[in-house]
């Protein structure tokens, strides 16, 4: 595993340094020190995932129809929790992205962006 990660990190750093050195004038390129936002988002969504599993697992266990064995029941409950987690994550990411882009020129005017 380490033999795959080390070259990836090396080339990712090289691409970052090249892109940062060759950016167009006036372009605000993301800095490495801004990764704290990604770490906060990761921790937030991981805690949200744990919360969803804690709350939804007993509910889904009661809602599932009778299963032939406990393993099948747990597999179906885990799948339902995973699907709910994916739904919450993608809905939150979509709403947040729309909130960020709604008054920008990047989003087409008919979707709420600024009219050119």
Q: Could you tell me if residue 97 is inside a domain?
A: no
Question: Is 61 inside a domain boundary?
Answer: yes
The tens digit of pLDDT for each residue in 8-46 reads 889 988 998 898 888 888 888 777 788 898 899 899 999
The phi, psi pair for 63, rounded to 5°, reads: -80, -20
Asked whether residue 59 is domain-assigned, the answer is yes
Is residue 98 one of the residues assigned to a domain? no
pTM listed for this prediction: 0.69
Per the domain annotation, does 40 fall within a domain?
yes
- The pLDDT, as a whole number, for residue 1 is 59
Residue 16: Cβ-neighbour burial (10 angstroms; 0-12, 13-18, 19+): middle
Question: Would residue 100 count as lying in a domain?
Answer: no
Q: Token pair 């064995």 is at which residue?
A: 69
Inside any domain, residue 115: no
For 47-71, what is the mean pLDDT? 93
List the domain range (segments joined by +) for residue 43: 35-89
SS3 27: coil
**How many distinct structural domains can be found in the chain?**
1
Query: What mean pLDDT do residues 2-11 have?
Result: 84
For residue 80, tell me if it sits in a domain: yes
Residue with tokens 């990836």: 8
Mean pLDDT of the chain: 88
pLDDT for residue 3: 77
Q: What is the 3-state secondary structure (H, E, C) of 82-96?
A: HHHHHHHHHHHHHHH
46 against 3, higher pLDDT: 46
């Amino acid at each position: 595993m380490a033999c795959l990660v080390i070259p990836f990190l090396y080339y990712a750093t090289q691409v970052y340094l090249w892109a940062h050195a060759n950016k167009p004038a006036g372009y605000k390129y993301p800095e490495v020190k801004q990764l704290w936002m990604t770490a906060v988002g990761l921790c937030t969504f991981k805690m949200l995932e744990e919360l969803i599993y804690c709350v939804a697992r007993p509910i889904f266990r009661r809602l599932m129809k009778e299963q032939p064995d406990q393993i099948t029941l747990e597999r179906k409950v885990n799948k339902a929790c995973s699907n709910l987690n994916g739904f919450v994550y993608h809905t939150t990411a979509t709403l947040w992205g729309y909130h960020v882009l709604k008054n920008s020129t990047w989003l087409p005017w008919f979707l709420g962006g600024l009219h050119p």
